């Protein structure tokens, strides 16, 4: 399996061509799932024994770190660092101004594994805005084909949730002459599904857009359904 990545503009740079790549996670695997995989590979050791051994190791590592040791493992090196400003050489640690935090560095074995790692592929960037992918016109039973004026539709995709109180956000049907019709009756708004009633539309071809303002952002973002839709 290859590691997927996307390329984005680096907004802290004045150069519009300055871009950075970010990994698209394949998923998240928990310690318990790793132990399950280890137990499957090593049938001579029970899962409960593996879990107990790992828990003992973690407790020992934490105790040594809190004693001030640097802990080195094949995957990660861990040490303690201070955060906060000290006022002069005679200043002492003050929990109101200073914090003790953990610092991490890639361990020797993981560094060696990454040294010649090349198994990557460019992925579709779905992080810039809404990504509508499939529209079911309930009345006709078709997907990404027809629109039935006054009928019911169901839209699937990613990051579809919007604020219905904001007239700039929502579901928009754009005709060939660029005339826009905003959907006003929405029964459900979710990140992956939208249920809504289709407005009365004249015959013609339309493209469907979802417009949202993502959390922690002030910019309006748009996503367009890949296929054109037809009102007969």
Domain coordinates in residue numbering, the chain: 3-122, 131-231
pLDDT tens by residue, 19-52: 888 787 777 788 888 999 988 887 788 889 999 9
Contact residues for 151 (Cβ-Cβ < 8 A; gap 6+):
137, 138, 139, 140, 197, 198
pLDDT tens by residue, 171-197: 999 998 889 999 999 998 888 899 999
Confidence band for 14, pLDDT divided at 50, 70 and 90? confident
Confidence band for 7, pLDDT divided at 50, 70 and 90? confident
pLDDT computed for residue 129 by the predictor: 84
Pairing between strand 71-72 and 142-143?
A: unpaired
User: Please, what is the Cα angle at 228 between 223 and 231, to 5 degrees?
Assistant: 120
Instruction: Assign domain 131-231 one CATH number from 2.70.50.70, 2.60.40.420, 3.40.640.10, 3.30.70.520.
Output: 2.70.50.70
**Residue corresponding to tokens 């997907």:** 143
Rounded Cα–Cα distance for residues 142 and 155 (Å) = 12
pLDDT computed for residue 4 by the predictor: 83
Terminal C-alpha separation, the chain:
45
pLDDT computed for residue 178 by the predictor: 87
**Residue corresponding to tokens 């013609």:** 204
Looking at the domain 3-122, which fold is it? HU Protein; Chain A (4.10.520)
What is the distance, to the nearest Å, from the Cα of residue 127 to the centroid of all Cα atoms in its chain?
7
**Best CA proximity match to 107, nearest among 66, 79, 68:** 79
pLDDT computed for residue 127 by the predictor: 53
pLDDT computed for residue 191 by the predictor: 87
């Amino acid at each position: 399996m290859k590691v997927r990545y996307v390329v984005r503009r680096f907004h802290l740079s004045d150069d519009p061509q300055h871009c950075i790549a970010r990994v698209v996670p394949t998923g998240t695997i928990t310690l318990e799932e790793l132990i399950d995989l280890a137990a499957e590979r090593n049938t001579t050791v029970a899962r409960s024994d593996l879990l107990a051994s790992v828990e003992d190791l973690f407790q020992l590592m934490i105790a040594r770190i809190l004693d001030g040791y640097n802990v080195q493992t094949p995957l990660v090196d861990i040490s303690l660092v201070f955060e906060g400003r000290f006022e002069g050489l005679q200043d002492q640690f003050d929990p109101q101004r200073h914090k003790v935090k953990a610092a991490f560095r890639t361990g020797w074995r993981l560094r060696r594994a990454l040294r010649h790692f090349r198994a990557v592929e460019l992925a579709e960037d779905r992080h810039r805005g809404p990504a509508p992918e499939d529209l079911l016109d309930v009345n006709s039973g078709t997907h990404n084909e027809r629109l039935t004026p006054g009928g019911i539709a169901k839209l699937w995709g990613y990051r579809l949730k919007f604020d219905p109180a904001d007239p700039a956000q929502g579901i928009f049907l754009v005709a060939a002459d660029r005339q826009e019709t905003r959907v006003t009756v929405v029964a459900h708004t979710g990140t992956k599904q939208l249920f809504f009633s289709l407005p009365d539309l004249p015959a013609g071809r339309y493209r469907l857009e979802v417009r949202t303002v993502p959390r922690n952002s002030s910019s309006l973002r748009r996503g367009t359904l890949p296929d054109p839709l037809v009102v007969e």
